[in-house]
Chain A
């Protein structure tokens, strides 16, 4: 894919991944700020979105470098170092991207070391989200690897005064089959930089010929994870490092009335930092840091704010400008829609809701910040190291060139770690302490001061003919987002519209983001419509579907599950759902048991997945399974409860995530389309489970649940 297209894709994606609002604006050195503002009045700058800026005015500054040396280095010993700004969060791209490079470069997999997510070492990157690593960074690195291989062959040809086209490259060596001469890559480069600017699209090795890519290569450094040796962001230790803690407001949008820090300041080795409403402490001793924070007596003014009970009314009644229809699917005019609806034998109209949910990565936000010689280095867990660098540069009013962000492979994110709150806080504390500072958010802080997956209110109106043909479809999403809002089924007249609204909690990206909400609504509604026209849910879907890839996963899941053959036991029900987003095609069949007390247990889920040519079947299976398991949480239990700017369930004891006891039998069917480009697989695997489970609940009980979570507290929601 040409680079400009890559760039456009990334930018388009970013617009959907925005996280609105910052936690802090520092006043810092007042003189600096006054200078910056032209002197006089101190104002707090409004918090805009870092990503919105990237997708707008700043985009031109970041061109992906096209010279090979920025991406690949071959050492004299033949070791290959690959540089990418993407980050490893458990989705396994450290392994799968290395496989692609090894394949194209023709070196053993073990020869490759990936350097990832370090703003001083790797090319600029927008961030690791939107399932873009495989479809965009994959081709980018393959481009570079193919070019590097060609250069090596040309260099060898020159040395031998031979014709490069007669040479072969394999296993890290260039060989002349005629003479039998051969040179290792390291001998050719002698560790020098590979300098060539890649233009055009060099030919890739087709997936059908892959020997290293396409195989179940185990996770790189897997051993470090079972020995505890891997260093996560929260494990980083620096010389002289001290421990930080931040005083949290009593609620969202609170203002600090007073903070008595005298007691804390007297404690051994404690330094109190106060900057506007930001109050924090540092101490050489971790215990003392906690005591010092607890010793601060602060008063906050917390404004009245809505609770989760009024949430959906609020979303419906507080529109914001900027709603838009999807332009990738033809939109019917109101007259067309009305006319189509008039021709329908069966009409349905239903509303669906999804609650705010939390990412709850097991490693909470963590950062170690160090100032040295006017330069700031921060080790932190983020999916956007370059975005966090920009946030830091902005917060401290220094050029980005004086900030380095290093992202050690972290305790995951699921879309929840795009922003640099913790990095900024650690850096602010470190600036005051004059020493490196470690700050690790508590679980409660993570549940409260991170951002959430947006809640949504969704309205669907549909019409079908008696024979099961869908003739009209209208889908309106309030607040949760436009991802996968257009129906993949053949609908002659459809309108799919996203309506932005005001919203009460800080919200942002999430694995699958709005595709989960939109699929839950659409695929539940498809089930309702199938019943209304008296057709089987699989039959009804296939009747209205020509997308071959989606049909294939539906049929594969159904076959593995035994759909149509198996009979549900008493109190059990089967459900099916399918969907597509970001190049991932997915279908799920679920078996659910609901007992007399309304307790819901998912007994079995079979999911079929197809995302083009499979780069690593083991990693893909792991991702797909993980997405299915995570999906169960949002489907059944997970919901953030809030009131007056406070989160009411900021602990794992109150916010229920899937555990061992919730596990159904999980089966994954992977379809490998070697003829199609590889798409990302981290996200879309999450979208089909909730509607499949909801449809199975209906089959078991005759009760239709149109709200996620469907069984908050373990029992069927009414």
Chain B
């Protein structure tokens, strides 16, 4: 057990745990940030996706010891002042979920995608999102939600606010 300092959703968070423990386990089991999900622990499903310095990362594959000194964003960090982020809002508007267990990971992967490609093509969506499994099969709606989020974000920027709201 060692002491680490993580930066999560803008806050400094001290953690005492073994350095080899996965970031996913630290988030879920020690910090009770349970919005990040366990789906496989093998980097194969994307349920555990978080952003590390803006890059979509499988937290089940990241170790605690190498997660310091970077900026970690989880699903809990996308809402600001009661206002949903554009990707969250778009998922809600499109009803892009059933059980919703994949949703956190999908939203974070899509956030990274939209950062790199503000107006993504369907091929770019597949390229960024193929590692995220939705066993309920809501992919067509998720794709629609990503396109909608892209429009919301652009509209939001025009309106001078980062968080467009319908």
Q: Residues of A with Cβ closer than 8 Å to B?
A: 89-92, 218-219, 222-223, 225-232, 234-235, 237, 243, 286-287, 360-364, 409-412, 414, 440, 442-443, 618, 622-623, 625-630, 651-653, 657-661, 663, 666
Contact = CB atoms under 8 A, between A and B. Distances in A.
Given A286-B30, A622-B141, A226 B107 contact: yes
Given A226-B92, A361-B135, A660-B130, 15 more contacts: A90-B99, A219-B95, A225-B103, A226-B103, A229-B35, A232-B101, A361-B99, A362-B135, A410-B99, A411-B101, A618-B95, A652-B42, A652-B44, A653-B42, A659-B133
Contacts of B17: 287
Secondary structure dominating the interface of A? loop
B84 to A, nearest CB: 7
B151 interface: no
B137 A227 contact: no
Q: What range describes how many residues of B lie at the interface?
A: 35 or more
A218 B96 CA distance: 11
Contacts of A286: 21, 25, 29-30
Nearest to A359: B135
Contacts of B107: 226
**Which of B39, B98, B139 counts the most A-chain CB atoms under 10 A from its CB?**
B98
A281 to B, nearest CB: 15
Contacts of A626: 98, 136-138
A222 B129 CA distance: 22
B140 interface: yes
B100 A90 contact: yes
B66 to A, nearest CB: 16
The 3 residue pairs across chains A and B that have the minimum distance between CB atoms? A228-B35, A629-B137, A90-B99
A363 B36 CA distance: 12
Interface of B: 17-18, 21, 25, 28-30, 32-42, 44-45, 47, 74-76, 78-79, 84, 88-89, 91-92, 95, 97-104, 107, 125-126, 129-130, 132-141, 143
Nearest to A414: B135
Contacts of B34: 228, 231-232, 234-235, 237
A692 B8 CA distance: 48
9 contacts: A232-B34, A286-B29, A362-B39, A362-B136, A651-B44, A652-B40, A652-B133, A653-B42, A660-B132
A666 B144 CA distance: 12
Contacts of B35: 227-229
Nearest to A654: B44
B139 A411 contact: no
Contacts of A287: 17-18, 21, 25
Contacts of A363: 37, 39, 99, 101
Contacts of A625: 137-138, 140-141
A232 B95 CA distance: 19
Nearest to B132: A660
A143 B157 CA distance: 51
B84 A226 contact: yes
A624 to B, nearest CB: 10
B40 A651 contact: yes
A228 B98 contact: no
A4 to B, nearest CB: 33
A440 B101 contact: no
Contacts of B129: 660
Contacts of B137: 625-630, 658
A226 B88 contact: yes
Given A629-B137, A660-B143, A362 B25 contact: no
Contacts of B92: 218, 222-223, 226
Contacts of A414: 135
A443 B41 contact: yes
Contacts of B36: 228
A622 B130 contact: no
B74 A660 contact: no
A627 B101 CA distance: 17
Nearest to A438: B29
Contacts of A653: 42, 44
Given A223-B92, A651-B44, A652-B44, A660 B141 contact: no
A660 to B, nearest CB: 5
A92 B28 CA distance: 26
Contacts of B45: 362, 443, 652
B41 A442 contact: yes
Contacts of B74: 228
A622 B100 CA distance: 13
Contact of B88 (A227, A231, A360, A364): A227
A234 B38 CA distance: 9
Contacts of A218: 92, 95
A654 to B, nearest CB: 9
A229 B37 CA distance: 12
Contacts of B135: 360-362, 412, 414, 630, 657
